[in-house]
Amino acid sequence: SYHMLWNQLCDLTFNLSHLSSSHINSEYNQAINLCSLETHCPTGAGDCQFPQSCWHGLTDCDVRDFTPFELGGFLNKPTQQELAEGMGLTYPSDDPTDHFFCGLHLEDINKKCNTQPCPDGASTNCDYGQTCYKNTVCDARIRPGYRVTQPPTIKPTPSPLASDAREYFSFCGVDWAEANTCKMQWCGNGSECPIGQSCFADTECNMKDKLDGPPTMKPTEAPVTYDDPKNTSFCGFSFGDARSHCSVESHCPSGLHQECPTG
């Protein structure tokens, strides 16, 4: 939308209070013909020479048309294509909604590209009186922060509960007695109970024991039977040597030569 200060103009003749509609158009056109940096009055009548007054709301007169682009104006402003390609973008965009813009008239939008984008195509998101126009030459991708997606907020890890926290003793049931059977669903983690049941606290059931679980025991090796050949396998240079040096140290239960000392 236009900023009032851009559209204020010093003029002696532009006074609408006593004119008919036909004369208003004539006076308005005379004022517009004087549109320039010299007649601009951003702070009011003090910027004008006596006996001129400062008139505002002249939507057809915008001082930015005479202001260099580097200073915030439209003079020598690069085209939207030049700006987009300067950012390494392909113009026009593959997404047509990048060219949806609000405005009063399509011609005015394409000339200045200074109104807000409306990528959803809805005029309800535009300023009062404006319409969302499609297929404009304007490119929203060159706007700072356009469609920047904020990183998702990471849910903080909750602090560990104390071993006697009530949450560990909360279980579902149609009543407390059923919840206290320790066979029902745990609800201390905030999960909802099945239909018809409620979450009861202070039961005699302790979910922490189930969550922690018993310590993992090292599996016991299968026992060796009395007549297993492993019991009579020993290292030695010969059968007689193995028999005469029978000991725990020379035992080779796998029956493989690799298990015996070299030599």
Higher pLDDT, 249 or 172: 172
Give the global pTM. Answer: 0.39
Q: Angle at the Cα of 99 (from 93 to 105), degrees rounded to 5?
A: 155
Distance CA 205, CA 166 (A): 11
Q: Is the pLDDT of residue 15 over 70?
A: no
pLDDT digits (tens, 9 = 90+) for 199-226: 888 888 888 777 666 655 666 656 656 6
- Whose structure tokens read 């998101």? 125
pLDDT digits (tens, 9 = 90+) for 29-52: 766 777 888 888 888 888 888 888
Residues in Cβ contact with 255 at an 8 Å cutoff, skipping those fewer than 6 apart: 229, 230, 233
Residue type, 59: T
129, 100 Cβ separation under 8 angstroms: no
Residue ranges of E strands in 152-245: 171-173, 198-200
101, 109 Cβ separation under 8 angstroms: yes
Q: What percentage of residues in the chain have a pLDDT greater than 70?
A: 75
The mean pLDDT value of the chain amounts to: 79
pLDDT band (50, 70, 90) for residue 247: confident
Distance CA 110, CA 119 (A): 16
b/e string for 101-117 if b means 16 or more Cβ within 10 A?
A: bbbbeeebbbbbbbbeb
Residue type, 119: P
Residue type, 104: L
Residue type, 51: P
